[in-house]
């Protein structure tokens, strides 16, 4: 058992840029890709992951100090430290049973593929820590390890089913066939969906308005480099930076927004041959069935709408942190909140005005959940020594993936202590999810019927 734990921990310690390409190369060989093509696709995917990580770290390093300066200028003190997702991952992996989540995730995926309850092969095994995080939350309430794994298994099923119904929309938005997103952050879209339905009833918000449409209206001011520069200047002014620092931040933001679409091309270059090989293999082995490849979110990173929503959310998050009743977390490491923008992008199909509204309304959920999770995250950090904290210091994350789902499903058993809030939240989330899932399923069936009619007309 200890040897298995060491092997799993070593593989995962390599990081997504190495681990995921290894999985993709193995999958490519299984579906009869040529060795050189599989290796080339895997290395290209590793390059894409590395490039996206570098850009996000670059952007976070540029904007986070400005965000911190904005808060310092207000004089407001918030006691909970924001450790970001990397700290949460480290703390999660410090749980003694963490390594068992890896085989559980694989077994559930295989069983669901065999019994035809999913068409998604989840290659995003590196993000297994998200399931561990949920399990740790359950243990904090109940002390039961078996119950923790049961809840994590339910999360795995939700992620696979959600990936299935999102694939067509993701292909339409990204242009990459046969790929979907299995990341937990997508689950936040369930709560955004009913709000988006209301927004679409307003004529001004029910028009095509993505980044391309914005460019048509304002011309050069919507070009990535110019827009990034303008946003950087605004951040510099809000942070009360000197002129030189403001201009430096502006160029850094311009560089990031310019390079994001460039990096995404490498995801397409890596994933297209894999997708075609998987499709050909499934057509030969299982007629009429398509296997999807589930991945982390970065292959969507070429969408300008996502980054505009992310940057918009920075000042919104800071304002909410200062004014929101019940918040005690100081947004810092999680200030670049991808987990907020990606579900908004998928729910609205890239409609920018609706995305910005959904992100604005979604920010409080992240802050409240980050605050609520601080005690048990801090206790785990202190118990395991995974993170060094000062006496009395508390730590959490202001951008927990799928915050409402994660809070509700991991804390629902707190009802035994008289806390009914998580079970009420879970009921609301499940209800919204059912409507969202049904809407996506209906959309997919209509698209399939349209494809069938077009094919029949062509014949």
| C-alpha 158: how far from chain center | 14
Number of compact structural domains in the chain: 1
Q: Which residues pair with 395 in a beta bridge?
A: 81
Cβ neighbours around 115 below 10 Å, total = 8
What CA–CA distance (Å, rounded) separates 459 from 453? 10
Q: Output the pLDDT for position 1.
A: 55
Q: Which residues contact 276 (CB under 8 A, 6 or more apart)?
A: 177, 178
Q: Output the pLDDT for position 221.
A: 47
Q: What is the DSSP letter of 349?
A: T
What CA–CA distance (Å, rounded) separates 45 from 109? 22
Q: Which residues contact 270 (CB under 8 A, 6 or more apart)?
A: 24, 41, 42, 44, 45, 47, 48
SS3 456: helix
Six token digits for residue 2: 């200890």
Domain interval for residue 318: 1-458
Q: Output the pLDDT for position 386.
A: 65
Q: What is the DSSP letter of 318?
A: H
What CA–CA distance (Å, rounded) separates 158 from 382? 31
What CA–CA distance (Å, rounded) separates 425 from 365? 11
What CA–CA distance (Å, rounded) separates 132 from 399? 17
334 close to 341: Cβ distance less than 8 angstroms: no
Q: Output the pLDDT for position 219.
A: 52
Q: Output the pLDDT for position 395.
A: 85
CA–CA–CA angle 177, 156, 425 (5° rounding) = 110
What CA–CA distance (Å, rounded) separates 281 from 319? 51
Six token digits for residue 402: 């799928």
Six token digits for residue 224: 């990535």
What CA–CA distance (Å, rounded) separates 453 from 289? 18
List per-residue pLDDT tens for the chain, 459 residues long: 566 556 666 666 666 678 778 877 887 888 788 888 888 888 888 888 788 778 777 877 777 787 778 777 766 778 888 888 777 877 787 788 888 888 899 899 989 988 989 999 888 877 788 999 999 889 988 889 999 999 999 999 999 999 999 999 999 998 888 889 999 999 999 999 999 999 999 988 887 766 565 555 555 545 677 777 877 888 788 788 899 999 998 898 888 878 877 776 777 777 778 777 776 776 676 666 778 888 888 888 878 888 888 888 888 988 898 889 999 998 877 888 889 999 999 999 999 899 999 999 999 999 999 999 988 888 877 776 766 677 778 888 888 999 999 999 999 999 988 999 999 999 999 999 999 999 999 999 888 777 666 555 655
369 close to 400: Cβ distance less than 8 angstroms: yes
């Amino acid at each position: 058992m200890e040897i298995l734990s060491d092997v799993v921990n070593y593989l995962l310690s390599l990081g997504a840029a190495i681990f995921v390409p290894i999985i993709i190369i193995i999958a490519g060989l299984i579906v009869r890709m040529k060795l050189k093509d599989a290796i080339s696709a895997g290395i290209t995917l590793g390059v894409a992951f590395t490039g996206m990580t570098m850009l996000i770290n670059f952007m976070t390093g540029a904007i986070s100090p400005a965000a911190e300066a904005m808060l310092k200028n207000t004089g407001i003190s918030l006691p909970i430290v924001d450790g970001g997702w990397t700290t949460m991952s480290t703390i999660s992996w410090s749980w003694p049973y963490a390594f068992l989540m890896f085989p559980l995730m694989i077994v559930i995926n295989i069983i669901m593929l065999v019994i035809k309850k999913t068409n998604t092969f989840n290659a995003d095994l590196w993000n297994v820590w998200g399931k561990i995080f949920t399990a740790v939350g359950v243990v904090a309430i109940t002390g039961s390890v078996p119950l923790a794994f049961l809840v994590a298994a339910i999360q795995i099923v939700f992620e696979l089913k959600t990936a299935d119904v999102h694939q067509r929309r993701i292909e339409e938005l990204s242009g990459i066939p046969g790929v979907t997103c299995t990341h937990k952050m997508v689950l936040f879209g369930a709560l955004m969906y009913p709000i988006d339905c209301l927004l679409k009833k307003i004529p001004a918000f029910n028009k095509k308005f993505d980044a391309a449409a914005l460019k048509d209206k304002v011309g050069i001011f919507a070009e990535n480099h110019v827009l990034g520069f303008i946003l950087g200047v605004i951040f510099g002014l809000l942070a009360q930076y000197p002129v030189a620092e403001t201009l430096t931040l502006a160029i850094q933001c311009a560089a990031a927004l310019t390079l994001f679409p460039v990096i995404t091309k490498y995801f397409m270059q890596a994933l297209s041959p894999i997708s075609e090989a998987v499709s050909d293999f499934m057509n030969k082995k299982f007629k009429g069935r398509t296997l999807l490849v589930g991945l982390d979110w970065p292959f969507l990173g070429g969408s300008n709408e996502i980054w505009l929503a992310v940057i918009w959310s920075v000042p919104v998050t800071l304002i909410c942190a200062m004014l929101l009743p019940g918040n005690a977390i100081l947004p810092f490491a999680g200030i670049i909140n991808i987990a907020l923008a990606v579900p908004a992008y998928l729910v609205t199909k890239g409609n920018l005005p609706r995305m910005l509204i959904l992100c604005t309304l979604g920010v409080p959920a992240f802050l409240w959940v980050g605050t609520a999770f601080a005690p048990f995250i801090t206790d785990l950090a202190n118990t395991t020594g995974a993170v060094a904290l000062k006496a009395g210091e508390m730590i959490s994350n202001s951008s927990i993936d799928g915050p409402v789902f994660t809070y509700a499903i991991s804390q629902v058993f707190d009802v035994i202590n008289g806390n009914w809030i998580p079970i009420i939240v879970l009921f609301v989330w499940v209800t919204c999810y059912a409507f969202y899932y049904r809407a996506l399923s209906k959309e997919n069936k209509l698209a399939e019927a349209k494809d069938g009619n077009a094919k029949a007309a062509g014949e």
